[in-house]
Amino acid sequence: MAETTKTAKLTLDGKTYELPVLKGTIGPDVIDIRKLYGEADVFTYDPGFTSTAATDSAITYIDGDKGELLYRGYPIEQLADQSHYLEVCYLLLYGELPDKAQMADFEQRVTKHTMVHEQMQYFFRGFRRDAHPMATMVGVVGAMSAFYHDSTDISDPWQREVAAIRMIAKLPTIAAMAYKYSVGQPFVYPKNALSYAGNFLNMCFAVPAEDYVVNPILEKAMDRIMMLHADHEQNASTSTVRLAGSSGANPFACIAAGIACLWGPAHGGANQACLEMLKEIGTVDRIPEYIAKAKDKNSGFRLMGFGHRVYKNFDPRAKVMKQSADEVLDLLGIHNNPLLQVAKELERIALSDEYFISKKLYPNVDFYSGIILEAMGFPTSMFTPIFAISRTVGWISQWKEMIADPTQKIGRPRQLYIGQTRRDYVDVTSR
């Protein structure tokens, strides 16, 4: 728990209230207003939570000005360079990097759970073939609570642990099944001899008619995409998972809620929206038209893949992702792809345009991840499901942290009411 180092004073209607100021290990101090309503009969107002810490957490730290992202203290650049996704999962879940035996045990536990209940395939068949894979995932992940009754009791730490492992292990299988179903191909069972990322590629691209060999460069790029998206402190979908979990809902239901929130184009859906935007722009000569639209407040148009609520200098994930994009495009030899030319030129123009510079709007992680995933052969509709697979460990880690916190309460924001004051019902004949 954070320590109290000083107090802030709030004077209201001639009365002064002392508010403790809490200090974390790094980052801005927070003013503890928990007792404010009881003492002063006022709420604080912060729609969009731009100045509000909703929890304390020891998992992920972001410094938006420095462009820094730490998982359990470790910089994302070092992890992306030297670690791998399952090790990052262990780190996020348990707080420390594993030793060799711990890693082997964790890998074994995850790979033992990669298959889904055979009955689940019938569940998939209830969806239309043209359903968005995110829609399918929200439904199927929510339905896991109907299949895995022995890991839904949140008061039992062992069941929480099993649910965590199950979701980390099965989300790639579910996402790949959603994809296969949408393209009318047979489901491909997981292969536990492959890596986490390699297995996902295999489940998506293998067909019974011929062998599929996972390309190590694509496997590494996929693993990196997963590492870079694994957690991002209290973003919209993570806060959704926490809020859902605060009522005591089972973990599968909570993660389904997180997936639903992630789908939006301002959040995880931005990678799909960004690629669709690049396709819509189509050619380099049309970029100025879109830049002008993005600057025009009345157009309602935003450059997808640009800007971030927290990062105001650069997105450290985007830096690493850009490097991966170069590697993948080199490997696949697709430098002259028109989409890529539009992306590169858009990036160049936006980075030198006064509007984007002054508002600190830089390409974010989704700008580059979309380009890589497109090059790998994924349809745009699979971009956000891949984000969901990667973020599951972050959601679960945050959910576990919350449930284990003895001071945890149901999340219940208040409001500034601006509706009608009390009035009497009028019979329909007199209205």
Distance of closest approach, residue 262 Cβ to ligand CMC, in angstroms: 7
User: Can you tell me which of 90, 181, 306, 362 binds ligand CMC, judged by CB under 6 A?
Assistant: 306
Is 132 part of the annotated catalytic residue set? no
Pick the stretch among 144-152, 198-206, 211-219, 263-271 that binds ligand CMC (CB under 6 A).
Answer: 263-271
SS3 23: strand
| Site membership for ligand CMC, residue 232 (CB under 6 A) | yes
Listing DSSP states for 30-98 in one string gives EE--TTHHHHHS-----GGGTT------SSEEEETTTTEEEETTEEHHHHHHH--HHHHHHHHHHSS--
Distance of closest approach, residue 365 Cβ to ligand CMC, in angstroms: 6
| Site membership for ligand CMC, residue 267 (CB under 6 A) | yes
| Closer residue to ligand CMC in complex, CB, 191/309 | 309
| Site membership for ligand CMC, residue 270 (CB under 6 A) | yes
Query: How many residues of this chain interact with ligand CMC, rule: CB under 6 A?
Result: 20
Classify residue 19 by its DSSP letter. Answer: E
Rounded to whole angstroms, how far apart are CA atoms 34 and 40? 11
Annotate each residue in 322-361 with x if it binds ligand CMC (CB under 6 A) or - if it does not, as one string.
Answer: -------------------------------------x-x
User: Can you tell me which of 137, 260, 303, 372 binds ligand CMC, judged by CB under 6 A?
Assistant: 303
SS3 7: strand
Listing DSSP states for 332-401 in one string gives HT-TT-HHHHHHHHHHHHHHH-HHHHHTT--B-HHHHHHHHHHHHT--GGGHHHHHHHHHHHHHHHHHHH
Is 117 part of the annotated catalytic residue set? no
Tokens of 42: 């006022």
Residue nearest to ligand CMC (CB): 307
Catalytic member of 32, 366, 405, 427:
366
CA distances from 153 to 143, 148, 244, 408 (A): 15, 11, 15, 17
| Closer residue to ligand CMC in complex, CB, 162/273 | 273
Task: Catalog residues that contact ligand CMC under the rule CB under 6 A.
Answer: 232, 235, 266-268, 270, 294, 302-309, 359, 361, 364-366
Positions marked catalytic: 308, 366
